[in-house]
Structure 1
Amino acid sequence: MDNKKQEWQNSYKNGENHVFFPHEEVVRFFAKYITKRVGLQDYKTIHTHQAQPRFLDVGCGIGRHIIFSKQMGLDSYGIDLSDEAITKAREWASSAGIDHIESKIVAGSITKMPWNDGFFQFAGSNGVFDSMNFEIAKEGIRETARVLEKEGLFYCDLISGDDSNHSREFTGEEISGTGHEQGTVQMYYNYSKILDLIGSNFAIEEITMIRNENILTGFFHSRYHLILRKRMNSGG
């Protein structure tokens, strides 16, 4: 199966896919379920874990959500297909004081991750599972469930067919021809396909669809935002 590694390598090498600030929906996920910032240096713990929770950024890019989760008091990890991205993520993590970087931030496929079953309490993924072939995405979801503990929480987002060029129920696969994702897979989702993606691995805790419309041109696109809870009977 073609995971388009070289296309992502080129994107990161050319500095076209560098994002430095956490996604607002990831911030909301943390504030509701993990840790909420309530002052300049004050944080409110939402989770009920006694020990410091571990957070995995699945498809971490250059590490913005690794850094954010570290700032929010978690033990932070990440994996990405691109060696170029991981090099930059490790450099950033080192400057942020994250230790054991080479074992925590790794280059590799999300379909075969190097951590033990149930190692993480939380995981997140932004703009990843809709940028690959559907069968690879399903393997990645199964693997994410494996490394999460029972009832562990996972945030991810998926692009909807509800845009200017498709219909809301469109679930096809295209190759991106523009921008920093040129040459990579764009996989579209509807609700039924989301259920197929997560299978018996996760239950949906929350699902919303956010539509972004340019009022001047009328062009719009939409994304599903999901918070998933690992099922008690899921493997791993």
Structure 2
Amino acid sequence: MACFGAFAPTGFAASGFDLDELSLTEEAIDKVATQYREATKFLATIRAYLTQSEYGARAACAIPNYFDLDTARGDQLTIIGKWLGLPRCHCVCDAPAVFGFDCGAGPFSIAGFCAPGSTWLGCEPLGTSTLCIDDDEVYRGMLKARRYQMLGLYDIASLQAAIRHIWGSTAQVADASVGSVTLAPGRALTADETTQLPVAFRVFPIAPGIRALAHLGTGPVFGFGTGWGGFCEGAEFLCPTDPHTYTCA
């Protein structure tokens, strides 16, 4: 049977489809041979079976609509993630809060003088923990970035588009040199975004063998020429940091 209309999973009435207009069933009934047109019990039996088949066919045809990357939610989005090879939960480095002043210089949680559980940078080895992306919109952005990676689109334009799916329109490829690339969100990351930084770098379309670094400053990057910040424009030096994408070393 062909696909017509779309049913909501919670019931046919929610779809707006008129159950009195079973077009596929009536189309099949019209093909009954003339000599059986007066056999009312036979026609009723055929219609009863075909009606249930049409309900099932229409419901099955609607299933792909619930696995659209732009609109899927919850379990449907989780399934799409499995298709794309990106589960919700990941093993990442578990960095303790570091004493210091927050200047956007690295992928660490900064703690003050009296914050419990803080330590000096380098005093404790980084451990591991499981990080799950429970927020559907955050996960959706990562899946959209993952598409470029799956297709092997390693050009700068694709990388730029991918990072903006996760960090928004301020994100940019800050530097691309031989053997490395530095990505900048272009804004201050939230605490959750900082924690998710290793996972984000796992989905960016960066060719194998290229070292990926992060610049977490919020101002323009100092440099000469178009697009760079000058001496009196509040520009920051480019300070690439390791987002600990796969290792804690």
User: TM-score normalised to the size of structure 1?
Assistant: 0.27
Task: Say which structure is richer in helix.
Answer: 2
TM-score, normalised via structure 2 length: 0.26
| Structure number with higher relative contact order (C-alpha < 8 Å, ≥ 6 residues apart) | 1
Query: Which has more strand, going by share of residues?
Result: 1
Q: Which has the larger radius of gyration?
A: 2
